[in-house]
Chain A
Amino acid sequence: MINPPVEDFATDFDHTDEAWVADPYPIMDDLRERCPVAHSDRYGGLWAPMTYDAVAAIANDTEHFTSRTVVINNGRPGDDALPAPIGVAPPISSDPPFHEIARRLLLPAFAPRPIAALEPFTRELCNQLLDEMGDADLVDASVQYAEHIPVGLIAKLCGLPAEDGEQFREFVRIVLEGVDLPTEERIAAFQPVEDYIVPAIVERRENPDDGLISYLLDAEIMGEKLSDEHVFGSILLLIVAGIDTTWSAIGSSIWHLANNPDDLERLVAHPELLPSAVEEFLRAYAPVSMARLVKDDFEFQGCPMKKDDWIFLSFPAANRDPKAFDNADEVLIDREINRHSAFGLGIHRCLGSNLARLEMTVALEEWLKRYTKFELNASEPTTFSQGQVRGPRQLPLRILERK
């Protein structure tokens, strides 16, 4: 089933529509002026706020909005789904008070110091990928580079073989795409994910290592080991949330530099600008839009929201709101004040933000050490992902100058 094309995003919003996938930013700006909360009857009812204020308010309001499921689709969590507050992939799908318990289990593993220790591994991985690209003048920065970096890191963190990376990307596709399929088909499509993760957990129960699966199996909540569903859900979360997000962020950054030779030249000449450039790429091309469900009938900013309506929680739209950011529509790689919300706001702040920043920084540093001038290769298509995570999936480039 493929959704019909959108005629007016204000009243028939659909984030999977071709026009939104190709270039959502002018649509966001238009809706922010006109609505600023778009609506749709699709997916059983959906609201899409476009202002920073509304996005921040919803992200911080766990009383009226639940995270029980965060991928917009035609279904709703049925009676056989794990009940709130745990949800299918804790802690992203958990509400207070369980959320904090599940989150605190994982936070230490993703805190700045343990993540900084992964820098040499990340650098080595990036250089290996660049070596494999050799001296070709035509390369694909997504297919040959960006998509492999988070796969390598997540596999290492979980203690899973790097060779399984191709499967991880398939799992991401299963969970995040095909959202307009009927619920039964979505459930059937999910089987290979279970068939991979469940035996991996069984194997780690017998042969513990220093990866996150073993860490979770060893963890306790109030003296009790975690349920299998909890361990499964958290590993699923790390695989799904940790891969196409950072892949997108790295890809969008390179896409920007390919399209903006002045920024590229400046960054090559002044690598000390990279930290602020990374934050600006995160603001301008924030990959992730989250979702919430409305808990009970509730009026929000004049919108009559109904129980179980979806909220398309667009951090990318918040990041482009001119009321929250000066020159919001310009990408300024030396922007000093940048309170962007690319990693979310409130209690669900991206658990892996330190890891994502490490990957982006190292990936761009190593890339720019080799490729000092490049442009889009217009004879091949550049394509973007469809769904709640946006970034280039094919990014064909022509290398014009290398070191």
Chain B
Amino acid sequence: MRIHLDTEKCQGHGRCYSLAPDLFDCDDLGTAVVVVTGELSDEQLAKANLAAGNCPEFAIRIGD
């Protein structure tokens, strides 16, 4: 499983990088950036799902 971030949908609410700072960061405008590459560990997956479930813009998808 990987993180798929739709940067067109992201409006910089900042929920993902607050809840999962090991997986997400932001740029100078506050837009989300994914900081992990490749397959997620189980622990990362749980955090990634938490981030995805709190994104108001439905901009994060966890999948293959």
Residues of A within 8 A of B (CB): 104, 107-108, 110-112, 275, 279, 336-341, 343, 345-347, 349, 353-354, 357
Contacts and interface: CB of A to CB of B under 8 A. Distances in A.
A117 to B, nearest CB: 14
Given A112-B17, A349-B13, A353-B14, A107 B29 contact: yes
B11 A341 contact: no
Nearest to B28: A108
A339 B54 contact: yes
Contacts, number: 49
Contacts of B11: 345-347, 349
17 contacts: A107-B12, A108-B28, A108-B29, A111-B12, A111-B28, A275-B18, A336-B50, A337-B50, A337-B53, A339-B56, A346-B11, A347-B11, A349-B11, A349-B12, A349-B56, A353-B13, A354-B14
Contacts of A338: 54
Nearest to A346: B11
A108 B18 CA distance: 17
A100 to B, nearest CB: 10
A340 B56 contact: yes
B22 interface: no
A177 to B, nearest CB: 28
Contacts of A340: 56
Interface in B7-56: 11-14, 17-18, 26, 28-30, 50, 53-56
Contacts of B12: 107, 111, 349
Interface of B: 11-14, 17-18, 26, 28-30, 50, 53-58
Contacts of B57: 345-346
A349 B11 CA distance: 6
B53 A336 contact: yes
Nearest to A111: B30
B57 to A, nearest CB: 7
Nearest to B12: A349
A337 B50 CA distance: 7
Given A346-B11, A353-B14, 13 more contacts: A104-B29, A107-B12, A107-B28, A107-B30, A111-B26, A112-B17, A336-B53, A339-B55, A340-B56, A345-B11, A345-B56, A347-B11, A349-B56
A112 B14 contact: yes
Nearest to B11: A349
- Closest 8 A-B residue pairs measured CB to CB? A349-B11, A337-B53, A107-B29, A111-B30, A339-B56, A108-B28, A341-B56, A338-B54
B17 to A, nearest CB: 7
Given A346-B11, A349-B12, A353-B14, A112 B26 contact: yes
Contacts of A112: 14, 17, 26, 30
Nearest to A340: B56
A343 B55 CA distance: 12
A89 to B, nearest CB: 19
A183 to B, nearest CB: 33
B22 to A, nearest CB: 15
B30 to A, nearest CB: 4
